[in-house]
């Protein structure tokens, strides 16, 4: 092979989303979006819960009953994780806005920290909620 | 430079001021960040509060909201949350909806829903806080 064809082969390819394994910061970034959208939908439930609390004991009991059902608890568990994730990722973004930590290595490290921290935070909240 | 109002005496800053792509993009960006910073301590407080109210009866939730500190902090949290949610969803629309009219409708509907939900939840909190 001539030198030019080797050089041609080594050129970077444009990533195709269906076959390209996203690096951790990219997965972390799109997860931030998804959790943000999920939390936006969750504000409907929050509003419903507050309005139920303001409406009287019966409506509040209904809301607590729905949220306390297996499906309700599963949604709340997902909501807690989304909340923790979006909070930690948001802090990472605010730090990035100051110009700190914007290197590939640092972004990989902090993104791993965000994922790990989100699970730790979820565990703490749920253990505390059941223990108290 | 061919503008008739540009007589050569205006400063460079004077010529470009107010001519940004979105005119108010800077203020929008800054408000989004400021509210996000505000939401970090508020949401931590909110998470701790709902953990403590996890098994609450309506009377417990009402007693909690009767304390002015809780009511005021929750009101700020709610308003900041809906501002942040609307700003975040707008960013998603601006990235993925390419039709101008469709994008405008999506942003408008989301802003309207955010205002409606914010008003409903704020009213619920005030009703409880001022209630007997």
Q: State pLDDT tens for residues B100-120.
A: 999 999 999 999 999 999 999
Q: Which residues contact B10 (CB under 8 A, 6 or more apart)?
A: none
Q: Which of B6-20, B29-43, B62-76, B115-129 has the lowest mean pLDDT?
A: B6-20
- For the cut 60, the answer to whether the pLDDT of residue B99 exceeds it is yes
Q: Which of A1-5, A16-20, A36-40 has the lowest mean pLDDT?
A: A1-5
Is residue A92 domain-resident?
Answer: yes
- For the cut 50, the answer to whether the pLDDT of residue A22 exceeds it is yes
**Hey, is A98 helix, strand or coil?**
coil
pLDDT at B78: 98
- Confidence class of residue A4 from pLDDT cuts 50, 70 and 90? low
Are B84 and B35 in contact by the 8 Å Cβ rule? The answer is yes
Say how far residue B56 (Cα) sits from the centre of its chain.
29
Looking at residue B80, what DSSP letter applies?
H
- For the cut 50, the answer to whether the pLDDT of residue A10 exceeds it is yes
Say how far residue A85 (Cα) sits from the centre of its chain.
4
Is residue A49 domain-resident?
Answer: yes
Q: Whole domain around residue A66: which residue ranges?
A: 25-131
pLDDT at A20: 79
Is residue A124 domain-resident?
Answer: yes
Is residue A59 domain-resident?
Answer: yes
Is residue A96 domain-resident?
Answer: yes
Residue of B nearest to A53 (CA): B58
Picking from B88, B94, B106 by the largest number of A CB atoms within 10 A of its own CB, the best residue to mutate is: B88
Q: Could you give the percent of chain A with pLDDT greater than 70?
A: 94
- Confidence class of residue B15 from pLDDT cuts 50, 70 and 90? confident
pLDDT at B22: 55
- Confidence class of residue B1 from pLDDT cuts 50, 70 and 90? very low
CB contact under 8 A, A132 and B37: no
Packing angle of the helix pair B100-130, B68-96 (nearest 10 deg): 170
Residue B82 forms contact with A (CB below 8 Å): yes
State how far the Cα of A126 lies from the Cα of A10, in Å rounded to an integer.
50
Domain total of chain A: 1
Residue found by looking up tokens 């470009």 in the block: B16
Burial label for A118, CB within 10 Å (0-12, 13-18, 19+), is: buried
Q: Is B23 left (phi over 0), alpha (psi -120 to 50) or beta?
A: left
Phi, psi values for residue A27, rounded to 5° = -60, -40
Q: At A48, which CATH number? A: 1.20.1300.10
Residue of A nearest to B43 (CA): A87
Is residue A1 domain-resident?
Answer: no
Mean pLDDT of chain B: 89
State how far the Cα of A94 lies from the Cα of A86, in Å rounded to an integer.
12
Residue A128 has its nearest CB partner, among B33, B51, B121, at B51
Contact residues, chain A, for B57 at CB < 8 Å: 57, 60
- For the cut 60, the answer to whether the pLDDT of residue B66 exceeds it is yes
State how far the Cα of A23 lies from the Cα of A132, in Å rounded to an integer.
39
Say how far residue A29 (Cα) sits from the centre of its chain.
9
Is residue A90 domain-resident?
Answer: yes
Is residue A11 domain-resident?
Answer: no
Domains and their CATH numbers in chain B: 24-130 (1.20.1300.10)
Are A113 and A91 in contact by the 8 Å Cβ rule? The answer is no
Are A54 and B124 in contact by the 8 Å Cβ rule? The answer is yes
Report pTM. 0.84
Three-state SS across B4-54?
CCCCCCCCHHHHHCCCCCCCCHHHHHHHHHHHHHHHHHHHHHHHHHHHHCC
Mean pLDDT for the stretch of residues A49-72: 92
CA distances from B92 to A49, A79, A112, B27, B61 (A): 27, 20, 24, 18, 35
């Amino acid at each position: 092979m001539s030198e030019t064809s080797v050089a041609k082969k080594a050129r970077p390819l444009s990533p195709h989303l269906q076959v390209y394994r996203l690096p951790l910061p990219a997965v972390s970034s799109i997860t931030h979006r998804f959790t943000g959208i999920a939390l936006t939908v969750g504000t409907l439930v929050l509003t419903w819960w507050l309005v139920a609390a303001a409406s009287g004991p019966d409506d509040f009991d209904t809301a607590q009953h729905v949220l306390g059902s297996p499906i309700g608890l599963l949604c709340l568990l997902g909501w807690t994780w989304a909340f923790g994730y979006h909070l930690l990722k948001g802090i990472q973004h605010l730090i990035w806005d100051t110009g700190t930590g914007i290197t590939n290595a640092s972004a990989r490290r902090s993104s791993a920290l965000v994922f790990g921290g989100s699970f730790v935070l979820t565990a703490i909240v749920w253990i505390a909620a059941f223990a108290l | 430079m061919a503008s008739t109002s540009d007589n050569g005496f205006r400063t460079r800053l004077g010529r470009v001021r107010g001519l940004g792509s979105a005119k108010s993009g800077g203020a929008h960006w800054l408000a989004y960040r400021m509210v996000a910073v505000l939401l970090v301590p508020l949401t931590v407080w909110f998470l701790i509060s709902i953990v403590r109210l996890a098994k609450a009866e309506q009377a417990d939730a009402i007693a909690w909201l009767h304390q002015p500190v809780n009511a005021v902090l929750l009101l700020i949290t709610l308003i900041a949350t809906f501002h942040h949610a609307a700003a975040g969803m707008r960013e998603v629309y601006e990235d993925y909806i390419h039709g101008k009219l469709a994008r405008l409708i999506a942003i408008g509907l989301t802003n309207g829903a955010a205002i409606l939900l914010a008003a409903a939840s704020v009213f619920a909190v005030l009703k409880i806080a001022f209630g007997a």
